[in-house]
Structure 1
């Protein structure tokens, strides 16, 4: 990764997560970026301007009324200088002022004065993040093309647990790296499906599976790191959206089928990592089914549409990567699926004895028409990066549908 001579402006607002931005500035400098920092008055209560000046090697601006800075219209100069503007942490107040076009401090004024892409990394209490006003402001910013990075789930400084944590410095760094299109998949459109599908039996029961979605989400994140424009079609999972990834939420296999086909229009690569249910009830009951004196309940099941087959049947299908989760005879079943569905690559994993589902690590064997490679057990985030690297290599070498 490199950010050599790239010009990145960081806007720091008032929040405890401001301390993490110190590490972010250091990581960006390590990659060769030129970094300047603008702070709100509130941010200075958490980290001093002197700290950021030492880390960035540049003077830190706080006030719109800085006599030296504004003598040459400093907010205009900063806006023109920046190739990227990242606001981190972005407080609820800052999100509101950005959404409403306020220009009452240096940071909001620069945000209006720059033509550079704007990224914001929200950080706040989970209840604040869930508030309708905050979500409306976020929706407004998204509609204007501002990239919303996070927030992540987890423990918060206030003692709450939930969504509202600022993304970690390495994740924000990776988004900025990818935004300059320096990865092997730069300029490519990648669609990833992830998680389980649920098929309703009645209003309170469903047929599902044990997929957590972690592998698919990690793949979407890795593809974004590689420079791709990524759309993630996600089944019902409790995972935060990877930074810089467009997410479409679905529940059933038919919904996922329709969403994937729509997302694959004009796509270069489709990675089908979702654990899609093969069957669904023929008829879902409109009311909760009741027990009747020990009488057995019989469900008529019908087959769900085959998403991979539907994508492969297109006149110009993308490079197709399937997954095979097996409990035995891994190689035989995976290679049969590769041939039968006309895939360019298949990632096979053993899900027996507590492996694969609901765990943080995994191992894969990749197969294609004339070769294979084993990826040993490792954290799913690292495994996803290796998988995406192999996919990019095969895709760019011309081995696939899309060539």
Structure 2
């Protein structure tokens, strides 16, 4: 049964412009184009005009920057989430918000279907569709790249010319790009050669460490309950704070990552990423946790980090297990408040100062000077008990070397 109205996640590029027209032609129903403003540099009026020319019933553009940073990026920072140790998941954290807003628009507009432009080989198709399924399982899901017969860009261009679809006039890049306020990612094309170093003119948010300032810059970031709230004493909204850190980190060559990651569907993929502000926040937040989190709480939280990152990367943001983990993470952040001082220099983020009203670091206890609260003789029994099982084990083994 064909849908009566479709909401398409629309970027205004070649793929989604063709998809918009194809949906109208294929399903013979109105299509609403939805654009999510997550801080990417776009001419939104031009994109709106392009969508209408392609036949959209309407083009809805939602400014989601503050929600994106506050509820998605900052949570990833609080969780310390890094997929396969390196990737800060700038694309992964964006998709559940885009899909959630798309579902919201579908319900507001009386649509009974949603569509996306993700290809059949990547992770985004999963992220979009798991979110649709979790939030509005009654909606029909349309994934054109899994339905149509187009093989690649040349087929799309031919279709666009045939149907008078205005193709965006932008220089063709030998790689694909995804951008938002948290990061820019590059993959495909020339980057598929793992021995090839990314060209320097590819990068947008950062200068190379070689060309970065020869003078270090010191900054202070204040956190409240795990969330950054100010830079150098100036309180900023979440989106403005991240934007400011992107600029600061970018000029010092901070936040470049080149890695080969495991996609959810089983393929390995090379991704090159720029995440300057996010890199600074991850390091600063971790430094604050080091003085405010109890040892066992920190270790337990760390043990959960790979699973949290995996769930985000795979698209399970609205799964029950992830929602439960979010509650735990927020609980751990109740006393992660304070200020971290950093030195930024040629790609490096160096922690040089830490302070918090909830600090568990007690100088008088760790000092080599005597303390009334800690008697070194207490360590004797502690060590003896810790060594008991070792003694028993080696006695059974025959002892000695």
- Which of structures 1 and 2 has the bigger CA Rg? 2
Q: Compare the two structures and name the one with the higher strand fraction.
A: 1
Q: Tell me which interval the TM-score lies in, with the shorter structure as reference length.
A: under 0.3
What TM-score do the two structures reach when normalised by structure 2? 0.23
Q: Compare the two structures and name the one with the higher helix fraction.
A: 2
What TM-score do the two structures reach when normalised by structure 1? 0.23
With a CA cutoff of 8 Å and minimum separation of 6, indicate the structure with the bigger relative contact order: 2
